[in-house]
Amino acid sequence: MNYRKLIPLILTALIPIYSANFPSAAQSIPTQKQNIAQSETKGNIPRQAAVPAYCTPDEYKQFFENFVRGKDYQGTDMRSTYTANRIEVRNYDNPSQLLEVMRRQDDEFSIDLRDYRWVMLVPSTVDNSPYTRLKIDLRRVSKDTFRVDYIKAQYKYTGNTTGTESEDLVKTYGQPGAYVFQHRNGCWNLTQKLRSTRR
């Protein structure tokens, strides 16, 4: 048998099979774009988590409502996530005066929501309600700061004259307080409490 004639025939038959299973060096080196796409698909490159809509500077009111409720629509614990490690307690009438610095875990946030009304979770001293109603003033101080002033309040129900329930503010009482939130690390954070020192 003439092996010299068979070798070229065998090689001719094997080259297409080899090429199909083993791409050339140029074909086997993926582009940088392909590498990034494959890595992101596999989760090898950490991608920045999507920031909730309420974290944007203009959505401070929505942020505050979620903060008061304690959790957002995804179940994120708002209070621990968006409270600074150290909270400055300052004088309500003179915010430049620092009274103390509290740790996040020692803070007791005073405002809550019940039946779409701002309250403190303590019995009212002016009516028979299990909660003390609050008058709230929520305002943007600067592009990266908003402030929430609050004071105890009494309201009077005025009925359903316009097709919706309504009530009027009768009076405010007690000492005012406030919370200050600043936009840090992509979201709002509670950074200060303002406490009245009036007698």
The DSSP bridge partners found for residue 135 are 151
For position 13, what pLDDT does the model report? 54
As a whole number of angstroms, the distance between CA 179 and CA 185 comes to: 19
Class of domain 53-195: alpha beta
Query: For a pLDDT cut of 70, what percent of the chain falls above it?
Result: 73
As a whole number of angstroms, the distance between CA 135 and CA 154 comes to: 9
Instruction: Report how far apart, in Å, the C-alpha atoms of 37 and of each of 28, 34, 102, 107 are.
Output: 16, 5, 46, 45
The DSSP bridge partners found for residue 118 are 113
Q: How many CB atoms lie within 10 A of CB 98?
A: 11
Contact of 171 with 125, CB cutoff 8 Å: no
Task: Give, rounded to a whole angstrom, the gap between the first and last alpha carbons of the chain.
Answer: 117
Q: Which residues contact 167 (CB under 8 A, 6 or more apart)?
A: 155, 156, 157, 158
As a whole number of angstroms, the distance between CA 78 and CA 71 comes to: 5
Does 72 or 34 have the greater pLDDT score? 72
Q: Which helix (H) or strand (E) holds 78?
A: helix 78-81
Does 192 or 28 have the greater pLDDT score? 192
Split at pLDDT 50, 70, 90, the class of 58 is very high
Joined tokens for residue 140? 């943007």
Instruction: Report how far apart, in Å, the C-alpha atoms of 36 and of each of 25, 42, 111 are.
Output: 20, 10, 46
Indicate the residue type of 79: R
Split at pLDDT 50, 70, 90, the class of 27 is very low
DSSP 104: G
**Alpha-carbon torsion 94, 96, 97, 100, what sign?**
positive
pLDDT, mean of residues 3-15: 54
> 132 pLDDT exceeds 90?
yes
For position 15, what pLDDT does the model report? 53
Mean pLDDT of the chain: 81
As a whole number of angstroms, the distance between CA 76 and CA 64 comes to: 14
> 159 pLDDT exceeds 70?
yes
- What's the predicted TM-score (pTM) here? 0.71
Of the candidates 182, 175, 152, the one whose C-alpha atom is nearest the C-alpha of residue 87 is 182
Sketch the domain layout of the chain as residue ranges.
Answer: 3-42, 53-195
